[in-house]
């Protein structure tokens, strides 16, 4: 790697710029109202436009060598995922992080991107709501992969909390996805939900279907995504026959909180926010709501960050 290489990203938008001419979407309109325009992506390497540097075409983009020997992997356009050359550790990568953030995870997994690689977003356009949203996501993707670091994401049904959890770990090279709700053969709708979740995840993520979340957290060394805590608690209450005696589930709850506190991995967990719904009509429903609400509080207290997801928008909790 050439640590002396200097790369300057002069513009970062997609080929049509941002806002796109003639587009009235909310993303483009926000910038237009603010009088802001971002030009199509351009960059220099050691003062030379990257297009004028020595470059080799690779699937999805270009392997560029700067005047000083630095190597840069460049995405050809929106949606492109450039393949790295064999056994090359790049000094910088210019990627479509808006459309394909998981490609950064793959490049890290292959060793093409290391902690010393400069990561830049290009071909940015109205596929994302705003430059501020790009910065928010980039902070997750540039975060060191090592733990301990715990994140609790809360939200109601279909709030987008699972998608947000996956997004936060999209650029991580080593993720274990813990599905606490197994596919039920007699429920096609539930099976379809599980299949939709699987299709969103990068193919190299490992999936573990288990309720032994404490065991997974104790053994994990990469990143772990637990989806979700509410389904896990349902299984625990069932196993303890605790619907009419909630105290029977508390030892398992205590074990989970202890494992969460002791986790050395980077962990993201999804849970249901129960405090905004109607009061359950049954005693067992109210007991479950209370158990999950208290568990959410305990996990949040042991988390470096927590957030509430509402209608696909994220509110960070202090």
Q: Which residues are catalytic?
A: 197
Burial per residue of 24-40, b for 16 or more beta-carbon CB atoms within 10 angstroms, e otherwise: eeebbebbeeeeeebeb
d(CA 63, CA 85): 7
d(CA 220, CA 150): 13
Pairing status of strand 223-227 against strand 175-179: parallel
Question: Between 161-168 and 131-141, two packed helices, what is the crossing angle to 10 degrees?
Answer: 60
**What residues does 175 pair with on adjacent strands?**
223
Cβ pair 50, 74 in contact under 8 A? yes
Report whether the peptide linkage leading into residue 15 is cis, meaning its omega lies within 30 degrees of zero: no
60: left (phi over 0), alpha (psi -120 to 50) or beta: left
d(CA 173, CA 110): 8
Q: Could you tell me the two tokens for 265?
A: 């991995």
d(CA 79, CA 14): 10
Cβ pair 59, 38 in contact under 8 A? no
């Amino acid at each position: 790697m050439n640590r002396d290489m200097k790369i300057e990203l002069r513009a970062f938008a997609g080929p049509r710029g941002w806002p796109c001419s003639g587009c009235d979407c909310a993303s483009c309109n926000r910038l237009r109202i603010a009088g802001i325009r971002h030009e199509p992506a351009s960059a220099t390497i050691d003062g030379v436009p990257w297009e004028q540097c020595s470059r080799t075409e690779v699937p999805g983009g270009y392997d560029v060598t700067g005047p000083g020997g630095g190597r840069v992997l460049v995405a050809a356009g929106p949606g492109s995922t450039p393949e790295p050359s064999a056994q090359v550790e790049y000094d910088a990568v210019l990627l479509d992080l808006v459309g394909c953030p998981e490609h950064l995870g793959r490049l890290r997994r292959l060793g093409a991107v290391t902690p010393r690689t400069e990561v830049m977003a290009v071909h940015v356009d109205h596929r994302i709501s705003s430059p501020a949203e790009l910065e928010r996501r980039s902070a997750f993707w540039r975060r060191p992969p090592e733990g301990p670091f715990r994140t609790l994401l809360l939200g109601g049904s279909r709030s987008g909390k699972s998608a947000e959890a996956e997004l936060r770990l999209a650029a991580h090279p080593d993720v274990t996805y813990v599905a606490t709700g197994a596919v039920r053969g007699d429920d096609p709708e539930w099976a379809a939900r599980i299949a939709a979740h699987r299709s969103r995840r990068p193919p190299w993520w490992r999936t573990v279907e288990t309720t032994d979340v404490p065991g997974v957290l104790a053994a994990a060394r990469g990143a772990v995504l637990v989806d979700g805590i509410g389904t896990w608690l349902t299984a625990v209450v069932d196993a303890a026959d605790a619907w009419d005696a909630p105290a029977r589930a508390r030892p398992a709850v205590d074990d989970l909180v202890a494992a969460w506190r002791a986790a050395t991995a980077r962990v993201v967990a999804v849970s249901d926010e129960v405090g905004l719904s109607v009061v359950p009509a049954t005693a067992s429903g109210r007991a479950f709501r209370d158990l999950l609400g208290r568990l959410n509080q305990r996990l949040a207290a042991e988390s470096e960050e927590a957030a509430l997801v509402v209608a696909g928008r994220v509110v960070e909790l202090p």
